[in-house]
Amino acid sequence: MSTARAPVRPPVLWPGLDGAERRRFRLVVMGDVRIEVRAPLPGVRFTELTSDRLTYAPARALVAGTAVNLARRATGYFRRVAVLGRIGDDDFTPVVRRELRRMGVRDLLGVEPGAANGITVMLRDRGDEDGPAGVRLLVAEEHAPDRRLGEPDVRRAAREIRRADVLFADGYALLSPVSRAAVRAAISMARENGTLVAFDLVPHDVDQRLTAAEVLPILELADVVISEAPTLARLLDRPAPDDTAGVRELLPTLDRVVSARPLWLLRYGGTSLEHVVAHLRERFLLEYPTGYEPGVERTGFGDRLACGELYWWLSTRPSA
């Protein structure tokens, strides 16, 4: 009888990037919750601006932030989704809570009395007709409540974290000492209770904001690490790869500096969204195109990809 294993289907084929036929698993997403103003600038290139400019564009405001953006996509895959974050206490607060209810997401938000909700402005200029999408300018309020997400917020969410199949956190929380401590507390709580941990290494210039010594201890505790390959390479003072061969050359370094055995999901390509190498030390290596190409909506694509990958990983683990 043959013992050959069937080829592994990449997550972009199953479950795909548009949700799963059967929703499974419980997910807690920890991160930013903000009001975001978005506008594409189809007639403008940032490099062409030499003076003040008035442009009419389809601007809109919505509840967003790293946690909400991922949770919005995750509801198409996961049976139960919760958002853990810290918000302000102003006229936007009921708007935020109402949007989470509309999404079908459990609200684990702490409210900071008297504080305004965080605001983010995202502008994207005109891209090349047949080339990459336009450049994104993201302006985030520096002193938003999510910078003060603390260990008390984590303790209030303890029941949901313990019951979850996976806790998802990201690197923006590492930029503040207070929220960095909260991330460590949440990850410790998850690991003590058998909840798996996924970590998204953002922002993509985190290597200019934190040292490897500040980031690697978090990666040691993760079961899954999502990152643009150039970001990790720069953080580890290695050449930034731009093709499959370069990413493969980075893998031994990752295995050496992180003694744990996380699943690495490394993005690379022209915009670092086109391809992924999935690597598990000495056990697993899979490469796949993501389907991101000219004409595909970039906003939210990374969240769709991450949700599909998480569901795929949870479903294909031996204990699934």
- Poorest-confidence range of 10-19, 58-67, 145-154, 294-303? 294-303
Q: What are 245's two structure tokens? A: 């061969």
Q: Provide the mean pLDDT of the chain.
A: 93
CA distances from 119 to 33, 143, 268, 289 (A): 9, 10, 30, 34
3-state SS class at 284: strand
d(CA 19, CA 263): 21
| Per-residue pLDDT, 33 | 98
3-state SS class at 304: helix
pLDDT band per the 50, 70, 90 thresholds, residue 219? very high
Q: What are 242's two structure tokens? A: 């731009």
Q: Does residue 75 register a pLDDT over 70?
A: yes
Give, as one character, the DSSP assignment of residue 135. P
d(CA 297, CA 40): 12
| Per-residue pLDDT, 135 | 87
**Of residues 141, 67, 63, the one with CA closest to residue 95:** 63
Tell me how far the alpha carbon of residue 138 is from its chain's centroid: 16
Instruction: Determine the length of the chain.
Output: 320
C-alpha torsion 106→108→111→115, nearest 10? -80
* pLDDT tens string 261-285: 999 999 999 989 999 999 999 777 8
* pLDDT tens string 146-159: 999 999 999 999 99
d(CA 295, CA 284): 32
**Of residues 211, 249, 207, the one with CA closest to residue 228:** 207
* Pairing of β 60-64 and β 78-87: unpaired
Q: Does residue 4 register a pLDDT over 90?
A: no
| Per-residue pLDDT, 24 | 97
Mean pLDDT computed over 157-186: 97
Q: Does residue 72 register a pLDDT over 70?
A: yes
Higher pLDDT residue, 1 or 306? 306
Q: Does residue 108 register a pLDDT over 70?
A: yes
